[in-house]
Structure 1
Amino acid sequence: MPRPSPGRTPRARLAALVLVLVLPLSAACSSSSDPEAAPERLSRGDDQVSLASHPVQTKTKIHRVYGRLGDAKRKAVRRQVGKAVDRWWEAAYLGGTYPRSSFPSAFPGFTKGAEKRARSDKALLTNETGGHRIDAVEAKHRAVTLDILATRRQARSVTAHFTLRFDTRGDKTGTTTVRGRLFLVRRQGAWRIFGYDVAKGAR
């Protein structure tokens, strides 16, 4: 199952935490943190984010399960992880009042380590850089596909492959696509994002 590779050299690890690809109208970033080492607390924004209402619903499906996991538990993982991804999307891209340039609670459900790294990647992981030029955001496509690792009939970790596409209106008018992977582990009864590999482009 795809997941962040352990044992990187300090130089390789540093490269994984910064911008790794820059092309016209596109960019990418990746990061991960050890879920076992992450303090088991909710992100500061978890109790502040409210879901906005958008006409396009997120389609979440399971691609593959490694190990044995019953149907009821598969459905629960699909629902819970889909909700975790939705909360980040709403906080970082789709929700809130525009125009704005502040996204203080953009990473609900991230572990402490992942949130710290994500704040350095706000240009990719949120609408912060162009938010002051946006009057409105409208979701056009929301899809999440899951690979689940299970042992002893329990889901232990998930890789969520996602695509989010939305239109913006205002001084910054166009279509933005965000795609990539989120790495999640279950902590304190909830699925937490401990790593990411994300690309963002606009046209």
Structure 2
Amino acid sequence: MTRTHRPRLAAASLAALVALSLGACSGEEESPEPDAGPSLSDPSAAPTLEVEPVVRAGEVVGRLTKGDRTRIVEAVSGVAVRYLDAAFLAGDYPRQGGFQSALAAFAPGTAKVARGDLGLLTNAGIAPRVDEVTPAQLGVTVDVLAVREHASAATAHVKLVFKTAGDVAQRVQVQGRLMMTKADGRWQVFAYHLSKGAR
């Protein structure tokens, strides 16, 4: 079974996402090198995981220096990886709760909506019947929208595959997009479009 959720986006946010999706039409687009994505092996950038995250730089709409692009990809992918870890991988199973902390990087209004959607956004629905979670794949590709050489929005395209053991033994795939903007100097998720399937 696959579940999806797409919250309503504000007009300004939607415009930013449309700009990202139309990157190929922008005269100022600067395409990054295929290997521009940094590693998240630095403990300050991501939690310690049993599987190494694969991070890539995607499309850049607007102009950014290579150094700025690398730092933004690292910061945005770090937010995405920490969310996925807290939501699906971390913690001692079986567990009864504690999943709301996975929404720490969500903007306040988005987090309010997401708290009613924890069955999709976390393992909350199956956690009491799971003895172990083993990650198999974790990838993040980051698109960036830059205005006047400053990043104004980013989209993290995520894919996580993991296996559960216990009363619920299955292979789960989570994928989709986390849309982010900066607030108080930190990247926050202002919208999400994720799907989760198990077999």
Which TM bucket (shorter chain)? 0.7 to 0.9
Letter in 1 for 2:100: P
The CA deviation string for residues 131-159 of structure 1, in whole angstroms up to 9 with x for no partner, is 00111111111111111100111111001
2:33 corresponding residue in structure 1: none
> Aligned match of 1:118 in 95, 114, 119?
114
- Note if contact 1:52-1:95 (Cα within 8 Å) is conserved in structure 2: no
Structure 2 unaligned segments of length 5 or more: list them: 14-45
Task: Please give the alpha-carbon distance, in whole angstroms, between the structure 1 residues aligned to 2:180 and 2:11.
Answer: 8
2:61 corresponding residue in structure 1: 66
Task: Please give the alpha-carbon distance, in whole angstroms, between the structure 1 residues aligned to 2:54 and 2:161.
Answer: 13
TM-score, normalised on structure 1?
0.77
For residues 139 and 35 of structure 1, do their structure 2 counterparts lie closer, same or farther at Cα, with a shift above 3 Å needed?
Answer: farther
Q: CA deviation at 1:33?
A: 5.3
2:159 corresponding residue in structure 1: 163
- Supply the RMSD in Å over aligned alpha carbons: 1.8
Task: Please give the alpha-carbon distance, in whole angstroms, between the structure 2 residues aligned to 1:32 and 1:111.
Answer: 14
Task: Please give the alpha-carbon distance, in whole angstroms, between the structure 1 residues aligned to 2:77 and 2:48.
Answer: 16
2:148 corresponding residue in structure 1: 152
Q: CA deviation at 1:54?
A: 2.2
Counterparts of 1:36-185 in structure 2, within 5 Å, are: 53-102=48-97, 103-185=99-181
> Aligned match of 2:4 in 24, 28, 43?
28
Please give the secondary structure, in 2, of the residue aligned with 1:129.
coil
- Note if contact 1:33-1:114 (Cα within 8 Å) is conserved in structure 2: no
More helix by percentage: 2
Please give the secondary structure, in 1, of the residue aligned with 2:110.
helix
Q: CA deviation at 1:86?
A: 1.2
Aligned pairs, number:
166
Task: Please give the alpha-carbon distance, in whole angstroms, between the structure 2 residues aligned to 1:140 and 1:192.
Answer: 26
Letter in 1 for 2:191: G
Q: CA deviation at 1:108?
A: 1.6
Structure 1 unaligned segments of length 5 or more: list them: 1-24, 38-50
Task: Please give the alpha-carbon distance, in whole angstroms, between the structure 2 residues aligned to 1:35 and 1:108.
Answer: 24
- Note if contact 2:137-2:162 (Cα within 8 Å) is conserved in structure 1: yes
Task: Please give the alpha-carbon distance, in whole angstroms, between the structure 1 residues aligned to 2:103 and 2:12.
Answer: 19
The CA deviation string for residues 9-49 of structure 1, in whole angstroms up to 9 with x for no partner, is xxxxxxxxxxxxxxxx1111112555999xxxxxxxxxxxx
For residues 125 and 35 of structure 1, do their structure 2 counterparts lie closer, same or farther at Cα, with a shift above 3 Å needed?
Answer: farther
2:29 corresponding residue in structure 1: none
Task: Please give the alpha-carbon distance, in whole angstroms, between the structure 1 residues aligned to 2:74 and 2:8.
Answer: 23
For residues 35 and 157 of structure 1, do their structure 2 counterparts lie closer, same or farther at Cα, with a shift above 3 Å needed?
Answer: farther
